[in-house]
Structure 1
Amino acid sequence: MAAPTEHAEVVCAVPEPAETDRTDPQNTADTEPGDPDPDPAPDPDPDSDEDAGEPAAPRVRDTPEDIRLEAIANSVAFHPSARVVACGDVDGDVYAFSYSCTEGETRELWSSGHHRKSCRSVRFSPDGGKLLSVSKDKALHVLDAERGALLTRIHKAHAAPINALLPVDENIVATGDDAGTLKVWDMRKGTSVMDLKHHDDYISDITVDQNKRILLTASGDGTMGVFNLKRRRFELLSEFQSGDLTSVAVMKRGRKVVCGSSEGTVYIFNWNGFGATSDRFALKAESVDCIAPVTDSIMCVASMDGFIRAVSLLPNRVLGCVGQHVGEPIEEIVTSADSRLLASCGHDQLLSFWDVSSLAAMTVSDYRKRKRKGGRLKALSKKALGDDDFFSGLQEEPDKKEAGGDEEDEEEEEESDSDSDSD
């Protein structure tokens, strides 16, 4: 087998001794028989020669690289089956990216500038073939998810700027606006089949039960709305809560509904008991702006303080910090279809990815430990500790108690933050 080119070059670079050195009497007299060569040529390192011709393998990370955006993104969504994520920004642009845990392989697929004002929400259709978006310009757009081409535009879908969006199935879409109006659309006809206004302020979020029968809305007026999709009618409003209700999600296999609030409290409702809360959980956070369920009992919540917290529901516990947009409010968080990744977008113009796969295996004890005064959030991943990307000096785990210390002080039961922990 012929030697590699670079190996051959190294061999040729070794100089041959001059002929005069072999016969020059002076050289013969200065060198004793058996003495080592005064200036031997270094042997080429075969290992280094072989490695020199092979490019370094790309680094494989725990999460995809963060994506730097041109403007603040208001919304982010995962494709239901492909490794694709989409976002909409304050300039009205919509972007789609393919993501990978291998460095250098995350790339932009397409961008769309069809909205004239800020894009407030983006969502993939259940089959992933379409991407829907709503905007401050009051329009509802349907894009081809693969190419970004505009398929459908409902120019004046609402009389007020649209703030919330939820594809219920392939044909039914729900939207909510800044004036508190909920509309449900049949996209086959391009017309609304429900047009109801029962909130006095903006609709911040919409969700639906597993059977696609009951729509739930969270509103800035402090109430949760309940709407019957099948009968196309309004059911009821919950009692007023303190602060704006900013998000809503169904948990505990449909038995519980949780709402986040601008006051940093999570309100818990029993299914079919929507009139009044059954429980509430005050987080030590500025707000609970968005909620992303990870399991039936564990969710991630994001706040204006930039932290993404993992929270257990019944028993109510803050488990730790999943990640952070350092010092910047977070607009939205969402989990991937397999619940292994969480994506977030914040005012730092970053689209970030976090590993939440370990949350599914966590068990939460009913026994509550007292945290140290001034104790920090427990970091639930290396990236949250600052070992990756732009993080440094992030919240670390509380120091372990010194040997011989009184552990009872550490494990005292603290005062309950909730009304009850009963399921």
Structure 2
Amino acid sequence: MVSTSLFDDGPEIEFPTEIMCSRFCPITRDLFLAGAISGHLHWIKINDDENEQSMSNERSMKVHKKSVRAIGLTPDGQSIITVSKDKSIKLRSTETGKMITKYKRAHDSPINCLCIVDNCVLATGDDDGYVKLWDYRQKKSLAEFHDCDDYISDLTCANDRRTLLTTSGEGTLTVYNVRKKKLQIQSELMDSDLTACQIVKDGTKVVCSTMEGVLYFFNWKEFGNMSDRFPGHPGGIECLTSLDQSLIVTGCEDGKIRCLSLYPHRIMSIVGRTGSMPIQTLSTSCDTDYLIGTSTSQETLQLIDTQQLKIILNKKKKKSGKQQDNSFFADLEINEQTEFDDEQQRSSDESDSDSDDDDDDIRKPPKKKKKKVHF
């Protein structure tokens, strides 16, 4: 059986080159930015009238010599921060695109990710496992850490603005105290690259995605080892974002975007168009009413209306609850979720098999690890 994909007809926008990252403006849901492998940055406007939704490219600008790997915006939405394979960090005006400041050689290795900590501080991570803290008003980094032997895949800051979580290709979750500028704790070595992390369940849990398709869960302040795992994906998870405290979305190497409910963990549905290439980027608007993800190709982004998605998923949850309460009517109510559950079970059975990917851009992975490819 083939599972049904929701929002297969959502609006798309195509770009000349492959899109590596995207980010919504933190103060308006109508503007998001997309970074390309060519070093270009695109300003995208969402048009949402009563009849239809659409996207338009308002401005494009070459901002880096090599691929744009991550985008951030200051909390007031006035400045854009980009990092690149060319090892630089650049700050620009959101309104005009004019350069504000730059760090030409911010790292010795290509920078892979960034995280906005507060109005003046950001964190960056590179391909050799280094994490740096920066103050926009200074030309030198505030602190430098090297507690990982492989690439830094994601950075996330807690609401307290002092706890920085990092995931790495070596398979560890590392936690730093930003104000004290020191390592707080590092988890045990996991079985696969950790590719992304999100804080969920009102700050009580952390979920990390892996290149084996397994989700690891950690209790807050208990980062030494995972508290739970969910092997529900058939292959590697490239990126991860949250819709609310109990709903997350994963972008996978099989070209599918999946929506999951947490506690209990369950894949609810595949959303958006399905492509043949890995999902490179996922991002949600400030009110989480919109979701952006790569679509049928890595040069194409699709807009998904998550307001409608949440309504549909809530109905599925209620119907599932009724089916569990009444087995007679459950036999009569066979729908698309039943098909998806069958596929999920088969995927879970196959998720223990490993495969290797070639990667010339970052260090060779440990044995029996599947490596996330960077550009």
Give the structure, 1 or 2, with the largest relative contact order (CA under 8 Å, sep 6 or more).
2
Matched, 1:341 2:290: yes
Q: State the 1:170 CA deviation.
A: 1.5
Q: Secondary structure at the match of 2:283?
A: strand
In structure 2, the residue matched to 1:190 is 139
Residue of 298, 306, 321 corresponding to 2:247 = 298
The answer to whether the 8 A contact 1:291-1:333 is kept is yes
Alignment of 1:78 with 2:44, yes or no, is no
Match of 1:267 in 2: 216
- The correspondence for 2:149, drawn from 182, 200, 203, is 200
Unaligned runs of 5+ in 2: 1-6, 325-333, 349-375
SS at match of 1:176: strand
Counterpart of 1:202 in structure 2: which amino acid? Y
Please report how far the alpha carbon of residue 399 of structure 1 lies from its aligned counterpart in structure 2 after TM superposition.
6.7
Structure ID, larger Rg: 1
The amino acid of 1:355's aligned partner reads: D
Equivalent residues in 2 for 1:133-212 (5 A)? 133-212=82-161
Matched residue, 2:234: 285
- Partners of 1:226 and 1:341 lie apart in 2 by 30
Q: Do structure 1's residue 91 and structure 2's residue 38 form an aligned pair?
A: yes
Change in 2 beyond 3 A, CA 1:157/1:325: farther
Matches within 5 A, 1:317-356: 317-345=266-294, 347-356=297-306
Say if 2:11 is the partner of 1:65.
Answer: yes
Q: CA deviation at 1:63?
A: 8.6
Rounded to whole Å, the distance in 2 between the matches of 1:193 and 1:76 is 26
Q: Is the 8 A contact 1:213 1:228 kept in 2?
A: yes
Greater strand share, structure number: 2
- Seen in structure 2, the aligned counterparts of structure 1 residues 333 and 104 have a Cα distance that, compared at 3 Å, is closer
DSSP-derived class of the 2:87 partner: coil
Q: 2:66 corresponds to which residue?
A: 117
Q: How many residues are aligned here?
A: 322
CA distance in 2, matches of 1:139, 1:212: 24
8 Å CA contact retained: 2:46, 2:53: no
Could you give the per-residue CA deviations for residues 45-98 of structure 1, whole angstroms, max 9, x where no partner exists?
Answer: xxxxxxxxxxxxxxxx99973111011111001112231110111111111111
- Distance in 2, Cα, partners of 1:201 & 1:62: 37
Does the aligned pair in 1 maintain the 2:71–2:83 contact within 8 Å? yes
Q: How big is the shift at 1:338?
A: 1.1
Residues 191, 266 of structure 1: alpha-carbon distance in 2 compared, 3 angstrom cutoff: same
Distance 1:317 1:143, change over 3 A: same
2:79 matched residue in structure 1: 130
State the match for 1:21 in structure 2: none
Distance, in Å, in 1 between the alignment partners of 2:55 and 2:271 is 22
TM-score with structure 1 setting the length: 0.71
> How has the CA–CA distance of structure 1 residues 312 and 89 changed in structure 2, closer, same or farther, with 3 Å as cutoff?
same
8 Å CA contact retained: 1:335, 1:343: yes
Say if 2:9 and 2:273, in contact at 8 Å, map to a contact too.
Answer: no
Moved over 4 A (4+): 61-64, 102-105, 359-369, 396-400
Letter in 1 for 2:42: Y
TM-score normalized by the length of structure 2: 0.80
Is the CA contact (8 Å cut-off) linking 1:64 and 1:101 kept in structure 2? no
* Contact 2:9 2:272 survives alignment (8 Å): no
Distance 1:67 1:399 in 2: 30
Aligned to 1:48: none
User: Letter of the aligned partner of 2:33 in structure 1?
Assistant: A
Inter-CA distance 104–242: structure 2 relative to 1 (3 Å threshold) = closer
Q: Give me the CA root mean square deviation.
A: 2.8
Q: Which letter maps to 1:91?
A: S
Name 1:224's counterpart in structure 2.
173
Per the TM alignment, residue 121 of structure 1 is displaced from its structure 2 partner at its CA by: 0.7
Report the alpha carbon displacement of residue 358 of structure 1 after superposing the two structures with TM: 3.8
Instruction: Tell me the CA shift for residue 271 of structure 1.
Output: 0.3
Contact 1:64/1:106, CA 8 A, preserved across alignment: no
| Pairing 1:214–2:163 present | yes
Relative to structure 1, the CA distance from residue 255 to residue 168 in structure 2 (aligned partners, 3 Å threshold; closer, same or farther) is same
Percent identical across equivalent pairs?
32
Cα 1:169–1:178 shift into 2, 3 Å: same
Whether the aligned pair in 2 keeps the contact of 1:63 and 1:101 (CA below 8 Å) is: no
- Distance change >3 Å, CA 114–CA 315, structure 1 → 2: same
Tell me if the contact between 1:65 and 1:101 (Cα under 8 Å) persists in the aligned partners: no
User: CA distance change for structure 1 residues 397 and 278 in 2, over 3 Å: closer, same or farther?
Assistant: closer
**Is the CA contact 1:290–1:302 (under 8 Å) kept in the aligned structure 2?**
yes
Q: Distance in 2 between matches of 1:211 and 1:90?
A: 33
Q: Take 2:299 and 2:8, find their aligned partners in 1: how far apart are those partners? A: 21
Aligned to 2:186: 237
Kindly provide the amino acid, as one letter, of the partner of residue 99 in structure 1. I
* Equivalent AA in structure 2 for residue 194 of structure 1: A
Q: CA deviation at 1:190?
A: 2.8
Deviates more, 1:344-353 or 1:85-94: 344-353
Deviation at 1:107, TM superposition (A): 2.4
- Of 141-150 and 174-183, more deviation after overlay is shown by 141-150
Cα–Cα, structure 1 residues 323 and 176, in superposed 2: closer, same or farther, change >3 Å? same
Q: CA deviation at 1:348?
A: 3.2
Give 5+ residue unaligned stretches, structure 1.
1-60, 370-377, 380-395, 401-409, 418-423
